[in-house]
Amino acid sequence: MNRLLLRSQVTLFLGVFSIMALSNAIVPVLTTFSPASSWEGAIYAAYFLGAFISTLPSGILTDRYGRTLMMRFGLVLTVTSGIILFTSVDPVTALAARFLEGIGAGLFVPPALAGINREVEHAKMSGYFMALMNAGLVLGLLLAGVLAAWLDQPVAGILLFTVLAGIPTAASLIAREPEIPGADHLDAGAFFPMVKEYRWIWYSSIVLIGITGVVTSLYPKYSGAEPDILGYWIAGMSVATIVAVLLISRFSVDDIRLIRISAIAMAAGVMITLVHPAGFLVIGFLAGLVMIAQLGFLSRIRDHQGIAMGLFSTTSYLGMAVLPFLAGLVADGPGFFTAFCVSALAAVTVAVGVRK
């Protein structure tokens, strides 16, 4: 492997792992930044707000300036936010740093996926990328908690993953990758036709990825389980996703058919969660199948991959933000059973509606 390719792989794969690990490293130690639940919720959510508002512009700008520059900006913002979080536990500063961190993640993911989808072995590379993304989320959560307890230093995990993120950041600064073909112009008129033409893919992303957030947000109060037990099951969902993306990326599949089948199975997984937390594993596995199928379908778009991946990332974040909120409203009204049933029904609508 030549040096150019090595730098590219380090930027891509270690980059996504460290970004996701750092995003979850704050979760076990949120009380360090503020004892008030309202502030904790705001600090946690600020990341997703930053990611949501930056993913689509990042995708659009990728088609204009190429993926390398946008990934570099994302990594620099990630490292900057980690340094701020490590050096200050003031809640206002932490809120701003988390928002900045979310923007960094939003700038990184669409160009990374756009680059992957232009590779010959894009399915296999998508599997590696999604596996490392979920591995980062799991290890960021677990290692940050372990280090905080062992070292009696709440922000030790944040420091660890900030330093780790510095490696792909340095690699990106000296990388000289070929730019994406067609990056010398920006066709703004391509956006709305793409939204319309692939509307069922965007809808499937909102609903099927959003459902993972629904069960994660509803289950703690619904089950009354202890936090450590909940942590194991929620982490298990990400592990199941890792297994799924690595497995399915090895095979050639009918992407639309896989999304339809997974949507029906996910509805069943939601109902399983009503009676047993093993539903987390089912939903996590199916989410992995869905993401690889969606990326595989979108890889057929030869032009404007930046816009396509920006929309893919934006709709995924939108589902994670909106569906848990709506499900919570239903749970507070008609009850948890209805909230789970409505979520399952939403998954079925994807199976009925998604088409080539």
pLDDT of residue 221: 82
- For position 167, what pLDDT does the model report? 93
Most confident of 67-71, 78-82, 143-147, 194-198: 78-82
Total Cβ atoms within 10 A of residue 226: 10
Q: Region 86-98: what's the mean pLDDT?
A: 91
Query: How do residues 261-285 score in pLDDT, each as one tens digit?
Result: 999 999 999 999 999 999 999 999 9
Dump pLDDT digits (tens) for 286-333: 999 999 999 989 888 877 888 889 899 999 988 887 888 889 889 888
Find out whether 118 and 180 touch, Cβ atoms under 8 Å.
Answer: yes
Over range 107-125, report the average pLDDT: 86
CA distance 104 to 71: 8
Higher pLDDT, 85 or 353: 85
Which CATH architecture best describes the domain 191-353?
A: Up-down Bundle (1.20)
Answer yes or no: is pLDDT of 70 > 60. Answer: yes
Place of tokens 């989808």: 117
pLDDT of residue 245: 92
Closest-CA residue to 160 (of 101, 85, 235):
85
CB distance 40 to 31 below 8 Å? yes
Residue-range domain boundaries for the chain: 3-174, 191-353
Query: How open is the CA angle 46-48-49, to the nearest 5 degrees?
Result: 65
- The radius of gyration of the chain from alpha carbons, rounded to an integer in Å, stands at 19
Please state, in angstroms and rounded to a whole number, the distance separating the CA atoms of residues 265 and 263.
Answer: 5
Residue 184 has pLDDT above 70, yes or no: no
Q: What CATH number has the domain spanning 3-174?
A: 1.20.1250.20
Same fold, 3-174 and 191-353: yes
Q: What is the mean pLDDT of the chain?
A: 87
Three-state secondary structure call for residue 299? coil
322-356 per-residue burial string, b: 16 or more CB within 10 A, e: under 16: ebbeebeebbeeeebeebbbbbbebbeebbeebee
pLDDT confidence band for 243 (50 / 70 / 90) = very high
| Cα 198 to Cα 54, 82, 221, distances in angstroms | 21, 36, 36
pLDDT of residue 281: 95
Summarize pLDDT for 122-168 with one digit per residue, the tens: 788 889 999 999 999 989 988 888 898 898 888 999 999 999 999 99
Instruction: With cut-offs at 50, 70 and 90, classify the pLDDT of residue 177.
Output: low
What per-residue confidence (pLDDT) applies to 189? 65
Assigned token pair, 113: 């996926």
CA separation for the pair 91, 85 (Å, rounded):
10
CB-based contact 208:318 (threshold 8 Å): no
Q: Torsion over CA of 262, 317, 241 and 286, rounded to 10 degrees?
A: -10
* Over residues 94-117, mean pLDDT: 93
Euclidean distance between CA atoms 260 and 135, whole angstroms = 26
